[in-house]
Structure 1
Amino acid sequence: MEKKKKFSLFTAVLSVICVVFVAEAAAPVAAIGNSQFFWWLFLLLAFLLPYGLVSAELGTAYIGDGGIYDWVTKAFGHRWGARVSWYYWINFPLWLASLAVMTPSLLTMITGKTFPFWLSLLLQLAFIWLIIWISFYPVSDSIWILNGAAVIKMLLAILVGGLGLYVAFSKGMANQMTLKSLLPSFDLNSLSYISVIIFNLLGFEVICTFADDMENPKKQIPQSIIVAGLVIAAIYIFSAFGIGVAIPVDKISTSSGMMDSFKLLTGSSGGWFIMAMAFLFLLTLFGNMLSWSLGVNNTACYAAEQGDMPRFFAKRSAKNDMPIGSALANGFVASFVVVLAPLLPNQDLFWAFFSLNLVMFLLSYIPVFPAFYRLRKTDSATPRPFKVAASGWLLKVLVIVPMILIFISLIFTALPLSLDAQTLAEKLPVTIGSVVFILLGEVLLLVKKIKKN
């Protein structure tokens, strides 16, 4: 029998970077203005640090495919575990759909050709089902894709940051740096971006579901989280700084991404450089979706095996034991969303789908922090190869502060806090969609209870 390939520490670090680091993250956040630097630094300390420490302790104490579902279930029982697994899973096909709708425009940049509607739809579906097909195979078989995507992500972010600094030094600063501009305004516009930054810092728990593919998970999980966390923080700040000093704030919006930044910095919408960057960016989308699909599928399948997700999600491949039921469900939902998209009101489809996915994703993390605190108190006998050196009030701060930030993010992402027509048009679909998916999760819980009785 062929020996199963295992992750080295270097590979584990690159896998964390591939999962957590989002190359296009810095551009939308730069729309805040100079106060983005405050928010990056504040959230790296107030959210990323405690979240990374919590994930490292729980991930090494409770090793397995369950991830955050397993942690919450052990702390609060199956009802909360079922909710977490539902929110955690449903966010992925929505996110997959949001990236799929970007595919035709990226291919237009690469080829210079504009695609008719029917071909654009086929390209979106091809993106979705290629991800699904690759996720049928073990993560160790796809490690070269994860490693390559991580390297390309870092390269793109460093390039956009370096190009921004070059433009700022050669042509002057695009936005005036003053002490006042660096301080947060705490207005609706500024606070609405907190959720985007937090989203770009999530994903450490995914590496915990790869434990079976590691040489020494109890050491590699905390080491990879710490090393990758430092690398990710440094690159985010560098790329954000480059964009912030070179591109005027009024030219950046929430839908602006890496490619918009390259176009604005070079003053060109075509040419070999833009084509090359679009191709590399498309590769990072594949790597990002693949890494997340493997973690999400493991968690959803494990939850289904415990009776907390629909039975279909528990279906595994007879050939390699991979969770193909949850993978197929991802493909079905994402395909339905992109096919339905043309019928929706004319708006930024990427941002609409992304916002809805963001709400569901953040909801899944709310119980994780109190679960960490509860398990520290009620299950102290379980060995913790990595243990956060905190107790008493400091331990409570590590739990409460990230939860508060998630609640704030949910409010500003899902609720229309202004009643003007533009805000209502942007937010109401997200509000309604979030309520629908939450109620659907509760219906599944009710059906499960009825069957059990």
Structure 2
Amino acid sequence: MPVESKLNTAESSVAINNKIGFISIFLLGINGIIGSGIFLLPNQIYAKIGVASIAIVLIASLLVLVIALCYAELASKFTENGAAWIYSYRAFGRFVGFEVGFYAWILGIIILSSEIAGFLTALAGFFPELKNNYVYDLSALLICIFLIVVNYFGVSLSRLLNDFSSVSKLIVIFLFVFVGVFFIDINNFKPFLLPKVVSDDSFYSSFGAALGIIFYAFTGFSFLPIAAARMKNPQKNIPLALILVIMTCSVIYFLLVAVSISVLGKNLEFSSLPVADAFSKMVGNWGYNLIVIGMLISIGGVILAFSFSVPLIASSLALQHQLLPEFMGRKNKYNRPVNALVITFCLCSLLLLSGDYLFLISLAVFASFVQYIPTALSVIKLRSDQTLPTGFVIPGGTCIPILALCASIYLLSNFSLKIFLFGCAGLIVGAIVYFIQWKYVKFNSSN
């Protein structure tokens, strides 16, 4: 049976009532974005640019929305799993599609690894034993095994845990913001820019660095369309969910950063857990513990969302056009890509045992922008494709995709040479894998 037929048969076997509805799609998006970043990064942004951090959050939100609109338009034209690589494949051919897809898979593994590391770091606040390397490594492996089991049994269990973690984290965040309204100190919003930024003419570099940092808190949005085939009415629900998720997260991030600045003032720069420290100052030690618990739920939600989506990238690369070996796309009786699932978490485990948390975060942001560029170009290219549904069309012609391109290129230019080299190495590895698989498929077809 042809590979494409296998895919269609597998997908059609999923009952409609087992697919994800709009509310769960929206919560999956929330879970995929609000993780460790917004709880750990306000101090880093403040250290770069001061109170202007609140403006940086707004600017980042607008740029992310611009990029998300590109995904929304393309998501309204496709129902297959894969997202960015599907769009690039259709627009620019087999090789570019594979490179984007392979890079998206690696990106997902990197984010999974960094978020699990962040989860264990936060958990060490309650269980100091996790600071022991052996206990830490064992815990990381157990988490990976748990996620394999959860995802092995299909959509229903993942959906239930995702909805619970999304609602829980939103309750904790809204409580923090609500209480914070009563602790506003206008004096802590002066001066708007750090004196050192003004005095040494470093605004341009500080602006770019701060913008790059906050972007990590948004990186998960591009993974929402990856599981399109498992969603109800994806051509309508995904674009709407993408826009609502970005707008919701933008408001939440702005309020979290503003309240943290208002409560901690200049001390924000030196706080390792800024949101928890701010709540502790407002209500006492129990507030610190509540936020740390909220952090664990939040990071756990991101981990869960990515554990659901990332194996689907490898699976779709294998099943659609044989861009990876066919065994990567094989599914169990619950219609889950079990081989891709296991291999994803094996690679994730290796990164957890050997990778550096901060380095992985930087690499994840770099890899994200590599995804955004071909996606924006695909919008421009595929608008003239008459074989695709019209779907949602971004207003303003090509202005939004071009702005998304410019923003991505600008932010890529702010990364260090080390990150740039490692990021490009990923593209080279992808090219090698592609040509090996291409030769294998060509050899088999000729025999």
* TM-score interval (norm. to shorter): 0.7 to 0.9
Paired residue secondary structure (1:413): coil
Specify every segment of 5 or more residues in structure 2 that has no aligned partner in the other structure, as ranges: 1-12
CA–CA distance in structure 2, aligned partners of residues 108 and 328 of structure 1: 27
Cα 1:448/1:5, change in 2 over 3 Å: closer
- Quick one: which of 374, 379, 382 aligns to 1:367? 374
* Residue number in structure 2 paired with 1:385: 391
Comparing 112-121 with 437-446, greater Cα deviation is found at: 112-121
Identify which of 232, 235, 244 aligns with 2:252: 235
- What are structure 1's unaligned runs of at least 5 residues? 342-348, 416-427
Match of 2:88 among 52, 57, 72: 72
**Cα contact 1:313–1:329 (8 A) shared by 2:** no
**Letter of the 1:398 counterpart:** I
Q: How far apart are the structure 2 equivalents of 1:353 and 1:72?
A: 25
Local SS of the residue matching 1:61 = coil
Name the aligned partner's letter for residue 20 of structure 1: I
**Secondary structure class of the residue paired with 2:414:** helix
2:51 touches 2:193 (CA, 8 Å); kept in 1? no
CA contact 2:52–2:193 (8 Å) conserved in 1: no
Matched with 1:419 is none
Tell me the secondary structure at the aligned position of residue 303 of structure 1.
helix
- Three-state SS of the structure 1 residue aligned to 2:415 is helix
Whether 1:10 aligns to 2:42 is: no
407, 414, 428: which one pairs with 1:439? 428
> What residue in structure 2 maps to residue 324 of structure 1?
338
**For each residue in 1:371-429, what CA deviation from the matched residue of structure 2 results, as whole angstroms up to 9, or x when unmatched?**
1110002x1342223222332xxx1x2112212222222222343xxxxxxxxxxxx3x
Residues 205 and 59 of structure 1: CA distance in aligned 2, closer, same or farther (over 3 Å): farther
Give the letter for the 1:441 counterpart. G
Q: 1:294 aligns with which of 308, 312, 315?
A: 308
| Range that drifts further, 299-308 or 61-70 | 299-308
State the distance in 2 between where 1:375 and 1:292 align: 28
**Aligned pair 1:201/2:218, yes or no?**
yes
- Confirm or deny: 8 A CA contact 1:22 1:153 kept in the other structure: no
User: In 1, Cα distance between the equivalents of 2:187 and 2:148?
Assistant: 44
Letter matched to residue 413 of structure 2: I
Q: Please name the residue that 1:355 is paired with.
A: 362
- The 1:354–1:179 alpha-carbon spacing in structure 2 relative to 1, beyond 3 Å, is closer
Within 1, Cα distance between the matches of 2:187 and 2:392?
45
State the Cα deviation string for residues 65-86 of structure 1 (Å, max 9, x = none): 1211111100000100011011
**Contact 1:29–1:197 at 8 Å: present in 2 too?**
yes
User: Any idea what SS the aligned residue of 1:366 has?
Assistant: helix
Q: Does 1:138 align with 2:127?
A: no
Query: What's the offset of the Cα at 1:9?
Result: 2.7
Partner SS, residue 105 of structure 1: helix
Q: Taking structure 1 as reference, are residues 226 and 78 closer, same or farther at Cα in structure 2, changes over 3 Å only?
A: same
Q: Is the 8 A contact 1:135 1:293 kept in 2?
A: yes
Question: CA shift at 1:276, angstroms?
Answer: 3.2
Measure the CA separation in 1 of the matches of 2:301 and 2:189. 34
C-alpha separation between the residues in 1 aligned to 2:183 and 2:252?
18
1:23-46 Cα deviation digits (max 9, x unpaired) = 63262434332222222222323x
Give CA deviations for 1:333-356 in whole Å, capped at 9, x if unaligned: 121122224xxxxxxx32112112
CA pair 163-190 structure 1, distance change in 2 beyond 3 A:
farther
Q: Deviations over 1:151-173 (max 9, x none)?
A: 2332343344445544444xx64
Q: 1:157 to 1:412 in 2, by over 3 A?
A: farther
Deviates further, 270-279 or 14-23: 270-279
Taking the aligned partners of 2:332 and 2:150, their CA distance within structure 1 comes to: 16
Counterpart for residue 90 of structure 1:
106
Residue type at the aligned position of 1:117: N
Matches within 5 A, 1:5-404: 5-22=18-35, 24-25=37-38, 27=42, 28-31=44-47, 32-45=49-62, 47-111=63-127, 115-169=131-185, 173-178=187-192, 186-249=203-266, 251-252=268-269, 259-267=273-281, 271-307=285-321, 309-311=323-325, 314-341=328-355, 349-377=356-384, 379-391=385-397, 395=398, 397-404=399-406
When you count helix as a share of all residues, which structure comes out higher? Answer: 2
How far does residue 441 in structure 1 lie from its aligned partner after superposition?
1.4
Deviation for aligned residue 1:290:
1.8
**Secondary structure, aligned partner of 1:207:** helix
Could you tell me how far apart the structure 1 residues matched to 2:222 and 2:120 are?
Answer: 31
Secondary structure of 1:384's aligned partner: coil
Query: What SS class does the counterpart of residue 203 from structure 2 fall into?
Result: coil
Question: What is the TM-score of this pair, normalised by structure 1?
Answer: 0.82
CA distance in 2, matches of 1:206, 1:432: 24
The CA distance in 2 between the partners of 1:248 and 1:281, in whole Å, is 22
Structure 1 pair 164–190 and aligned structure 2 pair: CA distance change class (3 A): farther
Please tell me whether the aligned partners of residues 192 and 412 of structure 1 are also in contact (alpha carbons under 8 angstroms): yes
SS of 1:226's partner is helix
Equivalent residue letter for 1:121? D
Cα pair 2:61 2:246 within 8 Å, conserved:
no
- Calculate the aligned-residue CA RMSD, in Å: 3.1
Q: Residues 251 and 70 of structure 1: is their aligned pair in 2 closer, same or farther, counting only changes over 3 Å? A: same
Relative distance call for 1:187 and 1:179 in structure 2 (3 A) is: closer
Whole-angstrom CA distance in 1 between matches of 2:194 and 2:367: 35
Residue equivalent to 1:406: 408
Return the offset for 1:332: 1.4
The one-letter code matched in structure 2 to 1:34 is: V
The number of residue pairs the alignment matches comes to: 422
Summarize deviations over 1:52-73 as a string: whole Å, max 9, x none.
3222221121111121111110
Percent identity of equivalent pairs: 19
CA contact (8 A) 1:81 1:308 kept: no
Query: What is the SS of the residue equivalent to 1:71?
Result: helix
How far, CA to CA, are the matches of 1:149 and 1:352 in structure 2? Answer: 27
> d(CA) in 2 for partners of 1:140 and 1:240?
35
